[in-house]
Structure 1
Amino acid sequence: MSSRLIDSFQRRIDYLRVSVTDRCDLRCTYCMPKGFKGFEEPDHWLRHDEMTRLVGLFVAQGVSKVRLTGGEPLLRRGVADLARGLTALSGLQDLSVSSNGTQLARHARPLREAGVQRLNISLDSLDRDCFARITGRDCLADVLDGLKEARAAGFDPIKLNMVVQADVNLDEVRRMVAFAIEQGFVLRLIEPMPVGDTGRASKGVDLSCLGEDLAREHGLLPQVLGQGAGPARYWRTPDGGMSLGVITPMSRHFCASCNRVRLGVDGTLYLCLGQNDQVPLGQMLRAGASDAELTQAILAGIAAKPERHEFNERPQQIVRFMSQTGG
């Protein structure tokens, strides 16, 4: 399918991340403040049929990849039913879910049966105490059980996302690499972004050099992926059983190849994590906008997508938290 979603910098936008809830059962230090209560009112959440309608409009314009995110998406009732409806959209080639894994053990099989193809699971530590300090909950065992159930349900590959923070979990990176090699997971090391006060308070690490060091230590080979495949740079074991990636929005940004936009739980279209540009698609939909009117708003939004974030130059610019934008 040819895409009409080409921005003014000639980037093809073929990837949509959809937040099904801004609620989460964890309070990760880089994402959401411990006592945060400023969640979107449930009456403002898009219903599943409204989400499917908007996603369908994106797919009709050339989006081929959709990821369900949050907050924690598995807290939203009926998320497998939503996934089933989305997989029925003609032209959608890839449906995936990002999760913190706490609810995954009971949801893995229904998600797989609904047509979800891939999982990204947040896992910042394999140490129980450190995990609890980062997330605010002592539930590492639940996440590990969820990974086992996901593998039993047939998910492959399973990606682990580890946000690396200096003086917090940097010393656990090598343990996580060994775990990923042993289990055959894809491990992605991520630099925290200054989104909201919590993001700005997180001290990151330049992962460009660390990734290269880890690749040498473990004999990993550079993995060449197609254009638009995502922000990570990858290495893999010679047998292809495990891949290591680094996502470096701060030390080496990848804005020139950005292929994604985000849809908030209320239907707000966010065009860039590091800018405030947005389109109120949810408000338009509930005000009675036609599919043609919504499509024109989507096209206008994509045309206005910013060239790049300004996290390094203007770190105070984004006051919303990551959970409010959609993962």
Structure 2
Amino acid sequence: MSQAPVTASNASNAANMIDPFGRMVDYLRVSVTDRCDFRCTYCMSENMTFLPKKDLLTLEELDRLCTIFIGKGVRRLRLTGGEPLVRKNIMQFINSLGRHLESGKLEELTITTNGSQLHRFSKDLFSAGMRRINVSLDTLDADKFKAITRWGDVNRVMQGIDAAQESGLKVKINAVALKGFNDDELPKMIEWAHGRDMDMTIIETMPMGEIDEDRTDQYLPLSKVRSNLSNQYTLEDIPFKTGGPARYVSIKETGGKLGFITPLTHNFCESCNRVRLTCTGTLYLCLGQDDAADLREPLRASEGNELTSNAIDEAIGRKPKGHDFIIDRNTKRPAVSRHMSVTGG
């Protein structure tokens, strides 16, 4: 007997998800895979052990879970990884999610990518209903890019950005600030991005997962970055928001917007509206906490969605107030043991 298709309207009758601190959860980040074709030094070990494929939810199961969340009030959905575009048949999943954009249940479907596969998928992403994407890019220098990603080719990423813009996608650049690596290059990157009509966001490195580098050597507080940029540019705070945690300024000299994501120097927890779903069906309530809920078991236990919906409600009911990230010489172990690629950023 075939199962009736899941729609946002029949996924749940609950109106909205409200956490214990009165914050409405309307933003879901979905890691469709923990695999990546790069090995960025601040994100992964070079010799990563990835999840067995048998542990991953099928694309149909991910679709069903996303649909349940949309029925419970999620209005923005971002696909992440690892690198989301390396998952086999990923466009099948993205095209299916597009139906929620057409119905108006979902306001926005976006993706964060390293750009390596954009030359292949940009037109398809636009056709599926995406209108903006984030590209993670920490340097414009080919040799430095190869060093930081270990396996990456910056020219291929540039081709992907070209293809994305040509297809009509609005591109935002995400750069992790790394002391002694790209701190001197950030002004050049900002001018390059704004010159191509791309906004840019700078992100503090986060203490997640065991890596081969010493994070105390990498960590660059964005308070210092902003102070340095203020000596060169006119920065004006603006109320612009995209649904995520970035605080934005406009730069008078370039005419573009620059975001700062500061999980350590100035955390953004007071306005947190998001939860994260992994490719194994684990729901993380906070990027910097290990508390989680298993949604795979209730999802597979019944053809109906009541068990899963109840599990989501229980989890949202214990969403923590915030994270406790810290980086210093005395705290060299990561704040959480899982790598960023598992949680999906």
TM band (smaller chain): over 0.9
Q: Is the 8 A contact 1:23 1:71 kept in 2?
A: yes
Say if 1:76 and 1:253 are closer, same or farther in 2 by CA, change over 3 A: same
Where in structure 2 are the equivalents of 1:264-303 lying within 5 Å? 264-288=278-302, 290-303=304-317
AA aligned opposite 2:25:
I
Q: Choose the corresponding residue for 1:161, options 164, 174, 187.
A: 174
Alpha-carbon offset, residue 78 of structure 1 = 2.0
Alpha-carbon offset, residue 216 of structure 1 = 5.8
Where in structure 2 are the equivalents of 1:160-199 lying within 5 Å? 160-198=173-211
Aligned partner of 2:7 in structure 1 is none
Asked if residue 210 in structure 1 is aligned to residue 225 in structure 2, the reply is: yes
Q: Choose the corresponding residue for 2:244, options 230, 244, 251.
A: 230
Aligned partner of 1:46 in structure 2 is 57
> TM-score scaled by structure 2?
0.88
Give me the whole-angstrom Cα distance separating, in 1, the residues matched to 2:323 and 2:145: 30
Aligned partner of 2:339 in structure 1 is 321
Alpha-carbon offset, residue 289 of structure 1 = 6.2
Q: Is the 8 A contact 1:221 1:237 kept in 2?
A: yes
AA aligned opposite 1:261:
V
Give me the whole-angstrom Cα distance separating, in 2, the residues matched to 1:136 and 1:200: 13
Asked if residue 201 in structure 1 is aligned to residue 214 in structure 2, the reply is: yes
Q: Is the 8 A contact 1:215 1:221 kept in 2?
A: no
Aligned partner of 1:244 in structure 2 is 258
Aligned partner of 1:68 in structure 2 is 79
Alpha-carbon offset, residue 284 of structure 1 = 2.2
**Deviation above 3 Å: which 4+ runs of structure 1?**
237-241, 313-317
Alpha-carbon offset, residue 172 of structure 1 = 1.2
Give me the whole-angstrom Cα distance separating, in 2, the residues matched to 1:135 and 1:121: 14
3-state DSSP of counterpart to 1:32: coil
Give me the whole-angstrom Cα distance separating, in 1, the residues matched to 2:230 and 2:315: 39
Aligned partner of 1:22 in structure 2 is 34
Please, what is the CA RMSD of the aligned residues? Answer: 2.1
Deviations 1:37-73 (A, max 9, x none): 2x11112211221111111111111100000110000
Q: Is the 8 A contact 1:31 1:199 kept in 2?
A: no
Q: Bigger CA drift: 256-265 or 317-326?
A: 317-326
3-state DSSP of counterpart to 2:77: strand
Q: Is the 8 A contact 2:326 2:335 kept in 1?
A: no
Alpha-carbon offset, residue 223 of structure 1 = 1.8
Aligned partner of 1:82 in structure 2 is 93
Give me the whole-angstrom Cα distance separating, in 2, the residues matched to 1:312 and 1:242: 31
Alpha-carbon offset, residue 140 of structure 1 = 0.3
Q: Bigger CA drift: 1-10 or 158-167?
A: 1-10
Q: Bigger CA drift: 182-191 or 196-205?
A: 196-205
AA aligned opposite 1:56:
T
Q: Is the 8 A contact 1:3 1:62 kept in 2?
A: yes
Alpha-carbon offset, residue 152 of structure 1 = 0.1
Say if 1:82 and 1:223 are closer, same or farther in 2 by CA, change over 3 A: same
> TM-score scaled by structure 1?
0.93
AA aligned opposite 1:67:
R
Aligned partner of 2:163 in structure 1 is 149
Q: Is the 8 A contact 1:33 1:198 kept in 2?
A: yes
Say if 1:184 and 1:199 are closer, same or farther in 2 by CA, change over 3 A: farther
Structure 2 segments unaligned to the other structure (5+ residues): 1-12
AA aligned opposite 2:80:
T
Alpha-carbon offset, residue 29 of structure 1 = 0.6
Structure 1 segments unaligned to the other structure (5+ residues): none
Q: Is the 8 A contact 2:298 2:311 kept in 1?
A: no
Deviations 1:144-201 (A, max 9, x none): 0100000000012x11010011112212111111111211111111000000122983
AA aligned opposite 2:178:
Q
Give me the whole-angstrom Cα distance separating, in 2, the residues matched to 1:286 and 1:44: 13
Aligned length: 324
AA aligned opposite 2:261:
I
Q: Is the 8 A contact 1:96 1:116 kept in 2?
A: yes
Identity of aligned residues (%): 40
Q: Bigger CA drift: 66-75 or 192-201?
A: 192-201
Q: Is the 8 A contact 1:8 1:305 kept in 2?
A: yes
